[in-house]
Amino acid sequence: MRPSDDVAHVLDWLASPIPEDAARDLAQMSGELAALRRARLEEAHFHRILDLFYDRALRLARALKIRLSEASPPLSKEMRAMATLLVTVQESVAAGYERVLVDVERLSHSKRRHPGSVAARALRCLGEALEVSTMMAGPPPPDMWRRAHALAKAAREHYEPTATVIPGLTLDAEKIYKSLLALAAAQPEGFSPAEIGLLGEYLGHFSAAVSLLASRPPEEEGSWYWVDIGRDMGPVPPNRRIPPDHGDLLYCSFQMLGRLANEQISALEGGMAAGNLRLPERAAGPGGIAALKRMQAHWAHPPHRQHPRRHNNYRAQLCLGLNELWQLLEHGEAPEGTEPGTTQTTEWMVLNESPSGYAVMHVSGEVEGLVPGSAIALRPAPDKPWSVCVVRWMKSENPEHIELGLELVAPAARSVQLVFRNGDPAQQPTPGLLLPAIPAVREHAAVLAPSGAYSARRFFIVSGEDKTHVMQGRLLSLDVQTGAIELFQFEPDPYPM
């Protein structure tokens, strides 16, 4: 196909009706972008056509992110292939804008466009690529961070407060760049796809609260991050790695963003509607508030490793999910050859461990429904007891490779049922796990329950083979809350019924 034919084909495709099937539209867009790159066009003409691809790529990103949020990790091969292609398309559109930025002199004299708005569009595409990659539990696209740093720097160098942009366009390169940094600092590998979608929406409104500094900030150690903008790397807290004394360093603080999130969380817990805080409605639910709390914690206090890791290479069995673990402890092991739906265990390789948890890699067995924040039990051998853990992070570079970071919450557990004293006569007992007190971790016994189960400070714990033993408890503290589980300490109720 001649270059002139490429242009005609691209324009015909852009003028045709948009197919309802997002996968088909995405595949076609990938081919048309390749044709646009081959075409011999003046840069102004190329730029105008690229803007049409930009709008269409954002529409596809919105549609696919909804599907990713509703998908059950780990993703199917079909869904993962679609998401990977979307990342490639977004990177390709960003590369087109990087090509446009080469002719800065022309852009500087344009009445409708200028380098800042072009850099902002390229950064928006890279931001979409990063968000989709994290929703797949994958790493950032190669060279993404170096490109983002360069685009943000270009936008700052050509900042024009009075520049005229396309009517109705409110793109701010610095704000989008801050959003990328804040997303990475929140450690998205610890969030489910739906939670990452919430995080992306949140930062779309509030990332301007991120502070960027050219010199090391005066705050106490651990309250800021550093970035080497000449390298392909995201923000790093100094308690993980001390910044070098060379390189082109930029410092960023998320303290103001963390304080804002903390105020919003308090307002939500006080009963304020999410819309009044410019938050999506799902932010007001138990899972939404829990996700906001984890985001806020990472921004306000960058986490650091408390215990050294000990490398290992041995197999272990995992039971995935709170309900599955409850069934296992309640009814015992599922014999081989049982019918589908019976609790089964999966095989994993322990890569390293510490007193606080494990890093494991999947070997065999079904792992559908596995998300960060869910409960898991691990044992190194069939004759060993089950240790109860919470999934802290998940990485999956391809459908056949899954790694998990597990936080140990108890060396043993007992299946119980919970009834909260909330005045609801129709309340059904909630399956939960009774965890022992651990002197080095928590002073009191604890309960692990499904997210949203906690509805009153006082509750009954029913246990025993015939469910004849009843204990009354009073909640002391909610220690862990994710979109899947809640873990809270309690004491025997001093004022029982």
- Indicate the average pLDDT of the chain: 87
For 225, list phi and psi in degrees, rounded to 5.
-130, 160
pLDDT above 60 (res 140): yes
pLDDT above 60 (res 166): no
Q: What is the pLDDT of residues 365-407, one digit of tens each?
A: 888 878 899 999 999 998 899 999 999 999 988 777 899 999 9
Query: Which residue type sits at 314?
Result: Y
pLDDT at site 307: 61
pLDDT above 50 (res 165): no
Among 97-101, 168-172, 309-313, whose mean pLDDT is lowest? Answer: 168-172
pLDDT above 90 (res 185): yes
pLDDT above 90 (res 439): no
- The neighbour count for residue 169, using CB atoms within 10 Å, is 12
Q: How confident is the model at residue 285 (pLDDT cuts 50, 70, 90)?
A: confident
What is the four-CA torsion angle of 251, 256, 257, 262, rounded to 10 degrees?
140
pLDDT at site 170: 47
Name residues whose C-beta falls within 8 Å of residue 150's C-beta, 6 or more positions apart in sequence: 229
pLDDT above 60 (res 221): no
For 432, list phi and psi in degrees, rounded to 5.
-155, 175
Alpha carbons 375 and 200: distance in angstroms, whole number: 25
pLDDT at site 249: 92
Burial class (CB in 10 A: 0-12, 13-18, 19+), 74: buried
Q: What is the pLDDT of residues 37-73, one digit of tens each?
A: 888 888 888 999 999 999 999 999 999 999 999 887 7
pLDDT at site 345: 85
Alpha carbons 133 and 351: distance in angstroms, whole number: 24
**Contact call for residues 491 and 473 (beta carbons, < 8 A):** yes
pLDDT at site 164: 45
Would you call 372 helix, strand, or coil by DSSP?
coil
Q: What percent of the chain has pLDDT over 90?
A: 57
Q: How confident is the model at residue 252 (pLDDT cuts 50, 70, 90)?
A: very high
Q: What number is the average pLDDT over the span 321-336?
A: 82
pLDDT above 90 (res 351): yes
